[in-house]
Structure formats: C-alpha cells, structure tokens
Amino acid sequence: MTKRAIIIDDERLARSELKKLLQDHPEIEVIAEAANANEGIEKIGNMAPDLIFLDIQMPGKTGFDLLTELDRLPQVIFTTAYDEYALKAFEVNALDYLLKPVEPRRLADALHKLEYIEEKEALGTSLSPQTVNRGILGENDQVFVKDGERCWFVKLNEIRLFESVGNYAKVFFSTHKPLILKSLNALEERLDEKVFFRANRKHIVNLRMIERVEPYFNGGLLLEIKGGEKIEVSRRQAVKFKEMMSL
Amino acid sequence: MLSKISRYWCCQICGWGMFALINIFFAYTYDKTISEKLIIRLLIALSLGIPITHILRNVIIKRNWLVLPIEKIVPRLFICIIIASFIYSLSLLTFFELFNLSETDPKKKVAFINKLVLRTFDSSLILMVWVLIYYVYHFFQKNKKQEVDTFRLQSLVKELELKTIKSHINPHFIFNSLNSIRALVDENPQRARRAITELSNILRSSMQTEKMETVPLEQELNIVRDYLALEQMRFEERLKVQFNIDEDTLCQPIPPMMLQTLAENAIKHGISKQVNGGVVTIISDFVDGHHEIIIRNSGFLNGRAGHMGFGLQSTQDRLNLLFGTKATFEIKDIPGNMVEAKVIMPVNNR
C-alpha cells in the first residue's frame, strides 16, 4: 500500500533533495509540497496525507506550531539541520527525525519503523470505517500538545481527562497537564463517545481510566480516575452514565 | 561583612586581653601580688587602647593605606603611631594622676614630662606590634583573594574564547548549505561547484582570522559576500542583497568576523523569519570623520533591543576592547519594517 506524503520545508532545494531521496522508496508517494506552515496546514486539511515530512525552523510559524493547529495528525517525520541535542530540548517523542543533509540509510530506517508501527496497530485494534469517515478520533489517534518549549505526541488512550480552562482545555496524561487551545465542546464533537464521556460542564473523562464510582449529592456521581483526580458527574449526565454502563 | 567585622573585633579583644595578661603575669612574678590598683590601671589602659587602635584602623582604611607601596606607608604610619601613642599616654597618665593610681613609688617623685616621654615610647612599641599584626593579616587575605580572582579570570577568558569560536560559524548554517549543495549537484552543477568554493572560503577564513586583532574591511567583505551568496542559494528569491561600499573604506581595519556576525544576525533574526523574505543592505562610508558600517535587514527587533544576544554582545565587547570609547555600536528598528545595526569606528589614516 502506498503512503501519501507531503513535504513541508521553506527551502525549495531541501524539498527537491528529499523528493529525490524518496525516489528510492516507491511505497511513498509525494502528493504535495508546502513552503511554510500555513500552506502546510491548508494542504494537510485538503489532502489528508498519511505522512508529512516537516521542517522545524520555518518563517512565520514553526513546525511545532503547525502540528498544534491540526485536528487529525498524520504520521510525522521531522527534518532539521539542528543537532540531536538541540532537538532533545523540545522533548518531542516524534516518530522520527532526520538530520539534514539526510543520510539515505537513515531515511530507509525511519520509513521501516513507520511500517512496523502501522502493522502493530492494525493488529491491536479494528477501527470501524464509519468512525474514520465521520472524522472522529480513534483511540490510537494521536494529538500533538505543546506547552511552552515542551512538546508531546499523545495517544488518545493515554489521556484520562480533559478539563476546561476558559478557551483552553487542560489535557491530563501520565504526569503532565499541558493546555491546548481547543474548547471542550469542540473536543467532545471529535471524540468517540463510547470512550470519552462528558461528566459535567468542565470535564470529559476517559471511561477506561475510571477506577471507582460513588454516589454523590442530588443523585449525581463521583468518579475517581487513575491519576487520583475526582470528578463530579451532574445529575443529568449521571442518568446517561448509568444507562451506558448498564447491560 | 558581619563575619569580617566580628573577626576584627575578635582579634582586637584577644590582642588586648593578651596584653593585660602579660602585664598581670609580670606583676605577679615581680611583686608576688596582684594589687587592686594594677587591675584598675589595666582596665583604663584597655578602655583607652581599644578606641585608639580602632581610630587608627579607620584612618588606615579611609586613607587607603592598605594598598600603598611600602616606602610610602612606613613614614606615614610612623608619624601616626607616634601621635597616637602620645595621645594615649597623655590621657592614660592624666587618669593615673587624677585617681592617684601611679605605679611608681610616691616617694620617688618623677616629673610628669619624663613619665610622658617614657610612656609614649613604651606604647608606640605596642601600637607598632598592633599595626604589624593588622598588616600581616591583610597581606595574606589579599593574596588569597588575588589567587581566587586570577583563577576566575582565567576560566572566564577560556569560556569567552570558546564561545567566540563557536559563534563564528554556525553549524546550522553549514549543514543547511551542504544540504542545498547536494540538491544542486544534479540541478545546477555549476552553481554547486561555486557554492563549495564559497563554503570553503568561509571555513578557511573563520579559522585564520581568529588569531588576528583586526582585518582590512575588504577581506571581511569577501567572506560576507560568500556567506550571503550561500544564503541566497538557500533562500532563493526570498533574499535580496545590496552592497553600498565606499572604495576608500576598503583598507580600514575592523575586528575580524564582526561584519560576518552581523550579517548572520540579519539573516537569522530577520530574513529567515519573514515568509516573503526581504533585503539585506550593507553600507560602508566615511561620515563626519568616522568610519561607519551599517547593516540593514527586513524584520523587527521584537524587544531584542533591551538584551543583546551573544553575537551582538560580543560585537560590542570587541569594539570596546579595540577602540575604547571611540567606537559605538547600536541596533534599532527603523521605519519601513527594517532593523538597522550601525557601527561607528575611528578612521585609521596610516
């Protein structure tokens, strides 16, 4: 199966060099190029590529900024002239990164790794085609989160809680709680309601992460989540919750 | 500061306490008794001695006598000690007379003036010992501090050297250039060959110029032309370059890699941040009897005016080192979305 890829880099020569290197990999089809972040965001939105090659330093917005604006993340391979140490400062757990000038063997390795991960995920879950079409994020889908200098790719099934903070949402996963610029309502629309439950006005909870359920005032419920957070479920939502959980 | 003060007072009290003990010891061995009179006399001596030596110390500190060369200190201190011991003895003896505490046998009448001279001589010896201890202590303190300072300075120099070497050629730039060159090998072999020459020129001159104090502007301009040509290869139509050089300024001396640092700065913070790119202009001219170099680029300072990055700070430092206050460096936003860095240096008429 060929993968459709977009190359995003502000230097034409860098893009053409990468394209030339990719000629040795017929499984990758370069469907478009973008010379800056905004152009990249637009093309990703229109063409929904499987993979992007992304430069980090670009005029206007950086590659990281681009990722934070995407709703659905394709697979990402960073290309940069930064050294590895400089990259580590960002703490990005990216799929892979290639240092420019790109060594052909490193490119082959990165593409291999991509295939391997894909196979593993295909075995683990069966995504129903409808969810893909409706634009709803599956459990294995990733979101890109940037908090100041630090960045993460987070799988949805690692997230236990979203909390609304003004126009932002606080994302709880492992020991981190960064903010993303998305409203809770917008998130709710894109999340799978079988997994993510709107407990109240301020919280969306990952149902797989609930440790305990206790009755609460006024016919509400109190959910204890794996990280230790306690979330109140409003009365109206408690009815829905019980409905969902009962056989 | 507090520990320093208390250490001084510690020495003061110990020293004078020692003085009292020695006195008591001798009195005991000679007279086999310790009279009440002796204790009172010693108490008066201490309560006069401590303030007088304290005043002496203040004089030494205020007049900065600790740093004077020895041939200048000795006469000054000598006079000071004589005056201090005279005052000390005079007041001491006055007290003794008033309260009838005189140590000599009352039957053997000795003239007051004789006693005063004797006492002055006596106490000047004590004060000399005091001053000696004071100076020896400070001598060792100063040595220790100097050692620490030298060490600190050495490490600072090392650090600066390392930083400047690093700042001269940005590895990011080298790798980006190499990447572009690789793409050009197929696309435009002629340009690729030229780019390799330009890159090696930059690398070579950055290694050579590190040892020199100044280089002629012409030599530096050659590097900058090569550098900007390489950046133009990368940025293509996004980078435009203009040179406006008065030929008479070509032999003027400038700090090596200064222009290069400023040009890199203009690209890194100016052009590379603009989606549509921009212009870099380099001007060298004589203005009002000074040699003036201006580097302009599209972009904004973005609050960077307040705190300079390492590149700008080192430019400032190197100009100061070479020309002192005769050279100035400033960077500011100018109308038309441009940033202007201006270096003014004295003209060399050699």
Pick the closest to residue A162 from A190, A138, A141 (CA basis).
A190
Beta strand spans in chain B (E): 215-216, 239-245, 253-254, 278-287, 290-298, 328-334, 338-346
Show which residues on chain B lie within 8 Å of chain A, measured between beta carbons: 171-172, 175-176, 178-180, 182-184, 186-187, 233-236, 272-275, 277
DSSP structural state of residue B104 = S
In angstroms, the CA A40 to CA B217 distance is: 43
Which residues touch A33 (CB under 8 Å, ≥6 apart)? A6, A7, A8, A9, A15, A19
DSSP structural state of residue A138 = P
Which whole-number Å values give the CA distances from A53 to A9, A15, A42, B169, B258, in the listed order?
8, 9, 15, 27, 36
Check whether the bond before A178 is cis (ω within 30° of 0): no
Min Cα–Cα distance to chain A from B233, Å: 9
In angstroms, the CA B333 to CA A94 distance is: 38
**Block residue for tokens 């930059």:** B202
Which residues touch B349 (CB under 8 Å, ≥6 apart)? none
Pick the closest to residue A7 from A92, A93, A102 (CA basis).
A102
In angstroms, the CA A171 to CA A165 distance is: 10
ipTM: 0.71
The region of weakest confidence among B102-116, B239-253, B285-299 is B102-116
- The two tokens of residue B23 are 């006195």
Given an 8 Å threshold on Cβ–Cβ distance, is B236 in contact with A12?
Answer: yes
**Neighbouring C-alpha atoms within 13 Å toward the C-beta of B105:** 2
**Is residue A85 over pLDDT 70?**
no
* Chain B interface, best mutation among A8, A9, A11, by max B CB count within 10 A: A11
Backbone angles phi, psi at A49, to 5 degrees: -70, 160
Query: Diameter of chain A by CA atoms?
Result: 66
Per residue in A124-172, pLDDT (tens digit) is 554 444 344 446 777 777 788 888 778 888 888 889 999 999 888 899 9
* Chain A interface, best mutation among B169, B175, B179, B230, by max A CB count within 10 A: B179
* Chain A interface, best mutation among B176, B181, B186, B271, by max A CB count within 10 A: B176
Backbone angles phi, psi at A8, to 5 degrees: -120, 110
Cβ atoms within 10 Å of B57's Cβ, excluding its own: 15
- Comparing CB atoms, the residue among B175, B183, B272 nearest residue A13 is B183
The region of weakest confidence among A77-81, A221-225, B5-9, B43-47 is B5-9
Min Cα–Cα distance to chain A from B189, Å: 13
Given an 8 Å threshold on Cβ–Cβ distance, is A13 in contact with B179?
Answer: yes
Which residues touch B82 (CB under 8 Å, ≥6 apart)? B120, B124
Give the per-residue pLDDT at A198: 92
Which segment, B43-47, B255-259, B266-270, B284-288, is predicted with the most confidence on average? B284-288
In angstroms, the CA B206 to CA B203 distance is: 5
What's the whole-number average pLDDT of chain A? 84
Per residue in B286-337, pLDDT (tens digit) is 999 999 999 999 988 876 555 567 678 778 877 887 788 889 999 999 998 8
**Is residue B248 over pLDDT 90?**
yes
- Comparing CB atoms, the residue among A12, A59, A99 nearest residue B272 is A59
B273, amino acid identity: K
